[in-house]
Copies of this chain bind each other. A is one copy, B any other.
Amino acid sequence: MFMSHLYAVILAGGSGTRLWPRSRKLNPKQLLDLISPRTMLQETYDRIGALVPPQNVFVVTNREYVETVRAQLPAVPPAQIIGEPEGRGTAPPVALVALLLRERDPEAVLLVLPADHVIQTLAPYLEAVQAAVALANQKYLVTLGVTPTYPETGYGYIEASAALDLENHAAFRVHRFREKPNLETAQEFLERGHFYWNSGIFIWRGDVILEAFAQHMPQTFAQLQKIVAAGLDASAFDADWRALENETLDYGILERAARVAMTPLDAGWNDVGSWAALYALMPHDAHENAVQGNHIGVNTRASFIYGERRLIATIGLENMIVVDTDDALLICPQTHAQDVKKIVDELKRRHANEYL
């Protein structure tokens, strides 16, 4: 059942490189069908289909991806798929949509969703979102906090404090946000138990977030008011957008705001930040391999094998990643999955744009 006044703001502008060589500048992670036949963007959209009708969905993405996004989400009104001439972090797009909605629905609640995350179980996710909407209607800025399962050092953490009174779901005030910790600190967070991973999923009323922008990012707020007044098809749009401050919602708003809450999310959330993460999410065969494509393995186990057309033959591989695309091939142990960035850096250094 659709929740009245609920709008989705899907942020689909990233051009992450950690899933190179599949993820490319012109074909980024969120637009790829990494796990299912649907792309990550489509999965994000499908997931909230029960709560938000297509006409209440907004997508902010890079201008280069607008046509692809429109093709992937044909039910969303084309005008609500907005192309940025250049990324300016997560804060400006959300303020933009809140401004666009101000007159259309003064009671709008915005559900801000990164387009490149995985949620493995739908029901607890939808429950957490609905709980967050209830908090948002109490004028909280709400974030979903993922119950950590191991001491991850690659995520920001949320430190929860007092429990909030909510029917059917846990909820807490946010004491503060903590940057990516070292392993020792992450271990400590895990043991202390009231720390959560910052999922980047946010819920708030349109009027509340605009008030927060006016207070904490007044310059950005003023510029965006000007942009919206002129219209997104104004000739000055590009220059005005590029002039915006590059800022995240976390730093720009949440760390400065007083009334911030969180609801715990325990739904198999994953930001798919590496090939090793994707391998862990995929179904495994009897040899613990996750295979897509034409593969012959001899003594090959616990490996991720992705191919397109070519035959991939492997012998004696264990815990490896093989990603074979039409023009580029990646081979690395899962333990080195984070170093894919180094390959991309080297390609940039060489100006090998055809591979970026």
Residues of A within 8 A of B (CB): 20-21, 296, 298-299, 307, 309-317, 320, 322, 324, 326-333, 335-336, 339-340, 342-343, 346-347, 352, 355
Cβ contacts under 8 Å, A320 to chain B: 331
State whether A332 and B310 are in contact (beta carbons under 8 Å apart), knowing that A298-B339, A299-B339, A339-B298 are contacts in the complex: no
- In the A-B complex, the 7 residue pairs with the closest CB atoms: A315-B332, A316-B336, A311-B328, A313-B343, A315-B336, A315-B339, A298-B342
Best-buried of A310, A335, A352 by chain B (most CB within 10 Å): A310
Residue pair B324, A329 in contact (C-beta under 8 Å): yes
Residue pair B299, A355 in contact (C-beta under 8 Å): no
A5 CB to nearest B CB, Å: 48
Residue pair B333, A316 in contact (C-beta under 8 Å): yes
State whether A343 and B315 are in contact (beta carbons under 8 Å apart), knowing that A299-B336, A336-B299 are contacts in the complex: yes
State whether A21 and B313 are in contact (beta carbons under 8 Å apart), knowing that A296-B347, A298-B342, A346-B296 are contacts in the complex: yes
Residue pair B298, A313 in contact (C-beta under 8 Å): no
State whether A335 and B312 are in contact (beta carbons under 8 Å apart), knowing that A296-B346, A329-B329, A343-B296 are contacts in the complex: no
Cβ contacts under 8 Å, A324 to chain B: 329
State whether A331 and B315 are in contact (beta carbons under 8 Å apart), knowing that A336-B299, A339-B298, A339-B299 are contacts in the complex: yes
Q: How distant is the Cα of A316 from the Cα of B334 in the complex, in angstroms?
A: 10
Out of B315, B329, B335, which one reaches A310, CB within 8 Å?
A: B329
Cβ contacts under 8 Å, A346 to chain B: 296, 298
Cβ contacts under 8 Å, A314 to chain B: 330-332
Cβ contacts under 8 Å, A328 to chain B: 310-313
A277 CB to nearest B CB, Å: 16
11 contacts between A and B (CB under 8 A): A21-B311, A298-B339, A298-B342, A310-B327, A312-B331, A313-B328, A313-B329, A314-B330, A315-B330, A316-B332, A331-B331
Q: How distant is the Cα of A355 from the Cα of B327 in the complex, in angstroms?
A: 20
Out of B312, B316, B332, B339, which one reaches A329, CB within 8 Å?
A: B312
Best-buried of A311, A322, A326, A327 by chain B (most CB within 10 Å): A311
Residue pair B315, A355 in contact (C-beta under 8 Å): no
Q: How distant is the Cα of A312 from the Cα of B355 in the complex, in angstroms?
A: 11
Cβ contacts under 8 Å, A312 to chain B: 328-329, 331
Cβ contacts under 8 Å, A329 to chain B: 307, 310-313, 322, 324, 329
A263 CB to nearest B CB, Å: 38
A225 CB to nearest B CB, Å: 46
Q: How distant is the Cα of A331 from the Cα of B322 in the complex, in angstroms?
A: 9
Residue pair A340, B311 in contact (C-beta under 8 Å): no
Q: How distant is the Cα of A177 from the Cα of B119 in the complex, in angstroms?
A: 67
Considering only CB atoms, which chain B residue lies closest to A330 in the complex?
Answer: B313
Cβ contacts under 8 Å, A335 to chain B: 316
Q: How distant is the Cα of A31 from the Cα of B253 in the complex, in angstroms?
A: 67
Considering only CB atoms, which chain B residue lies closest to A326 in the complex?
Answer: B310
Residue pair A333, B311 in contact (C-beta under 8 Å): no
Give me 5 other A-B pairs in contact (C-beta within 8 A), A310-B329, A324-B329 excluded.
A296-B347, A298-B346, A307-B329, A315-B340, A316-B333
